[in-house]
Structure 1
């Protein structure tokens, strides 16, 4: 078992700053090469404190605030304009950062692109539902409409 410090949120494992123990292969082949975690050392405790402080400043602090943001997000449909062919197929795909920018541009709250989860890749024009994790216990299903560029 390898002891690691998460530097990014990993669904099902933890949030940035958490110290976790995972199997050696998972650490060596997935978490560390992708920059999602670093090896745990005694000197890394300062790094953990800095990561936690930065996360606390960014995240929604209370459950009530998260519920209010969820209601605001779910009440609207956010539109993303993308280059598409005649059949409605996109040149590329809609990314999590595209969705985060669309929410901010559409008058919604500023959300972190790493909190956006896309179930299936969005590669065609149409309406989609995307999940946004606002808090440990609160997530929102937002409606995203992808339209072709004129």
Structure 2
């Protein structure tokens, strides 16, 4: 089996998806950020000097998904029809769980866009809270589900 991103001369190339069927494709991803109690309370109480942390991170995550092809070499630029970024505040562990949903009707999947949305949102949370806690930890970034295309539905067990 040949590589999809290397041509016959060993050069990097974008995979040709021209012959793939158009279908509704969707992916969900998640990631976590752990922070000190003081940083977590600052975020929850909206006392961050940089402004509304969650609103800013949501917008950044959506923008990140839209710019995925500019960030990841050989990634196809996609006409996303839906990008959602959401947050779950986990007070027991001073963590924020970030989730994303990316959707389109096209010839290639949106897993990379969903992962990029989560990652950029997490990086924005870090940036906006780092004055309070420079030791925050971003972790557990992963795809949760994907659907559409030849391989159909997939869900993390």
What TM-score, normalized to structure 1? 0.31
Relative contact order higher in (CA < 8 Å, ≥ 6 apart) = 2
Name the structure where helix makes up a greater proportion of residues: 1
